[in-house]
Amino acid sequence: MAEISVALVKDLRERTGAGMSDCKKALVAVEGDMEAAIDWLRKKGLYSAAKKSGRVAAEGLIGTASAPGRAAMVEVNAETDFVGRNEAFQNFVETTAKLVLELGDDVETLKAAPYPGTGRTVAEELVQLVATVGENMTIRRAKMFTVEHGTVATYVHSALKPGLGKIGVLVALESPTELDALTTLGRQIGMHVAATRPEALDITGVDPASLERERAVLSEQARASGKPEAIIEKMVEGRIKKFYEEVVLLEQIWVLDGESRVSAVVKKAGATLVGFQRFTLGEGIEKEVTDFAAEVAAVSGVPQPV
């Protein structure tokens, strides 16, 4: 039998997009014949996964997992909303979230980790799923929080099933107080974050570039009033305060009562809010917008009405 070198396996992987273990199996099965190995992968439905890898994947699911003192969240994307209801895809997202809880939130480390019960890595299992379901899929991002004394609460908005949905939030709270009450507060803050989309935990966490842009815009607006520079400066500072109330979680008005600040609610509970993360499915991914009527017209040669 021909020797199956690492370089040969790597070459097949680059040409097909299939997992390393599947490439090795293919080469072993056909005694090292590259073209025959490609055909072997095609017959198994694995080669097609490579062809799908260029397509935009902005749907899918956010998954969460938790354990005492820690919680994790992952976003796994697919091409269509329909895949989010696929049981195999849901199982993959749930398992991957649990692995993030175990391994941390570095996506490359996650992809290289063994996928339970398969003998494949997480990345290779995803390739298998792509071949089975027929859509491009990606593990886009992950996040994990750990606290020493307290809880990391999870919240999934409009959950498809427990821990799976399109908007997910992690809220890390430090406190020696009773755990059930703290978890309830964490979930409430998660609901607040899902609704208000804060950008930073506190004022020091605001992106300096974003703050500078806001200050520049507000200054121009204030100068248009024709008032003296001393007055303009006070106007800008007042509006910056309002800006903080919009983008900083601890400065926001608590959605549950419409009057308290989040910082006051957390302080009253005897807790410290140490971190949060909000994932919205597909945010920031440029989705391809298609005109079905135009596509049909292009194929049929029928001109579109102007």
Please give the backbone phi and psi of residue 161, each rounded to the nearest 5 degrees, phi first: -155, 165
* 64 found inside a domain: yes
Whether the model clears a pTM of 0.85, i.e. scores above it, the answer is: no
Asked if residue 106 and residue 47 are part of one domain, the reply reads: no
Amino acid at 139: I
Q: Measure the CA–CA gap between 183 and 191, rounded to whole angstroms.
A: 12
Q: What is the domain count for the chain?
A: 3
pLDDT-derived band at 67 (thresholds 50, 70, 90) equals very high
Distance between the two ends of the chain, CA-based, in angstroms? Answer: 66
Q: So what's the pLDDT on residue 292? A: 40
**What are the residues whose beta carbons fall under 8 Å from the beta carbon of 29, sequence distance 6 or more?**
37, 40
**Is residue 302 predicted with pLDDT exceeding 90?**
no
Q: So what's the pLDDT on residue 145? A: 98
pLDDT digits (tens, 9 = 90+) for 217-261: 888 777 777 778 788 788 888 888 888 998 999 999 999 999 999
Asked if residue 126 and residue 223 are part of one domain, the reply reads: no
* 46 found inside a domain: yes
Q: Measure the CA–CA gap between 295 and 301, rounded to whole angstroms.
A: 10
Under 8 Å between Cβ of 120 and 19: yes
Q: Measure the CA–CA gap between 20 and 145, rounded to whole angstroms.
A: 32
Task: Read off the pLDDT of each residue in 7-20 and give the average, rounded to a whole number.
Answer: 78
Q: Within a 10 A sphere around the Cβ of 296, how many other Cβ atoms?
A: 11
pLDDT-derived band at 8 (thresholds 50, 70, 90) equals confident
pLDDT digits (tens, 9 = 90+) for 40-62: 887 776 655 555 555 555 789 99
Mean pLDDT of the chain: 86
Q: Measure the CA–CA gap between 35 and 114, rounded to whole angstroms.
A: 29
Q: What is the CATH number of the domain that holds 111?
A: 3.30.479.20
The separation between CA 238 and the C-alpha centre of its own chain, rounded to angstroms, equals: 35
Asked if residue 162 and residue 65 are part of one domain, the reply reads: yes
Asked if residue 158 and residue 87 are part of one domain, the reply reads: yes
Tell me the residue range of the domain where 19 lies.
6-52
3-state SS of 35-94?
HHHHHHHHHCCCCHHHHHCCCCCCEEEEEEEEECCEEEEEEEEECCHHHHHCHHHHHHHH
Angstrom distances, CA of residue 170 to CA of 73, 105, 114, 204, 290:
7, 13, 25, 20, 34
Please report which helix (H) or strand (E) contains residue 244, including its range: helix 229-247
* 258 found inside a domain: no
Please give the backbone phi and psi of residue 149, each rounded to the nearest 5 degrees, phi first: -130, 105
